[in-house]
Amino acid sequence: MSRVIYIMGVAGSGKSTIGGQFAEATGLPFYDGDDFHPDANVEKMTAGQPLTDEDRADWLAAIHRFVFEKLEAGQSLVLACSALKARYRATLSAGIEAQTTWVYLEGSYNLIKSRMEARKDHFMPPALLQSQFDALEPPADAVVLSIDAAPEVLVERLRERVF
């Protein structure tokens, strides 16, 4: 059965890094939820304004359509997406719950802020990190990985727990 493995967490938690490396290690295709944002969302975040639930609605719907189509075609995939609130995760997994695995990258505000400050060429400024933590509703039904470990260690832990 095809399935989607969503890698979730706040901005700067390593979703793209871990998701990409996990996908490469397992031979699955990787997609980044950031690529589904409409230009208006990117512009808003670049300007230092947090997104609202209304801003996120079309973005989440676009990701869900994409994932649903891939699964319907029999393709498994890994997709990085913040999915901060339970209702966002419900939207993303609607109708495909049995094919959905959630992986939550958990880390402290200070660690993630230092990582965000070190990265270049990303539209999400560190100033928005607090708004991400404020919105975060940690999932009750996810594989939880502490991001204190090196990416290769996290990928191996994920492989052990998902496959």
pLDDT reading at 122 higher than 60: no
Q: According to the model, what pLDDT value does residue 120 have?
A: 67
Q: According to the model, what pLDDT value does residue 124 have?
A: 58
Q: List pLDDT tens digits, range 10-66.
A: 988 999 999 999 999 999 999 999 999 999 998 998 888 888 999 999 999 999 999
Q: Domain range holding 66?
A: 15-107+125-162
Residue with tokens 């100033």: 127
Q: List pLDDT tens digits, range 73-118.
A: 999 999 999 999 999 999 999 999 999 999 999 999 999 988 878 7
Tell me the one-letter amino acid at 10: V
Residue 20's domain is classified under what CATH number? 3.40.50.300
Contact 5, 138 (CB under 8 A): no
Question: Is residue 131 one of the residues assigned to a domain?
Answer: yes
The whole-angstrom separation of Cα 75 and Cα 93 is: 16
Identify which of 80, 57, 56 has the alpha carbon closest to the alpha carbon of residue 67.
Answer: 80
Residue with tokens 């209702």: 87
Q: Report the pLDDT averaged over residues 129-134.
A: 89
What stretches of the chain adopt beta strand conformation (E)? 4-8, 30-32, 77-80, 100-106, 143-146
Question: Is residue 120 one of the residues assigned to a domain?
Answer: no
| pTM for the predicted model, two decimal places | 0.92
Sheet of strand 30-32: strand arrangement = 30-32, 77-80, 4-8, 100-106, 143-146
Question: Is residue 112 one of the residues assigned to a domain?
Answer: no
Number of domains in the chain: 1
Question: Is residue 10 one of the residues assigned to a domain?
Answer: no
Question: Is residue 8 one of the residues assigned to a domain?
Answer: no
Tell me the one-letter amino acid at 111: L
Q: According to the model, what pLDDT value does residue 119 have?
A: 63
Which pLDDT band, with edges at 50, 70 and 90, does 121 fall under?
low
Pairing of β 143-146 and β 100-106: parallel
Question: Is residue 79 one of the residues assigned to a domain?
Answer: yes
Question: Is residue 23 one of the residues assigned to a domain?
Answer: yes
Cβ-proximal residues to 140 (8 Å cutoff; 6+ apart), any chain: none
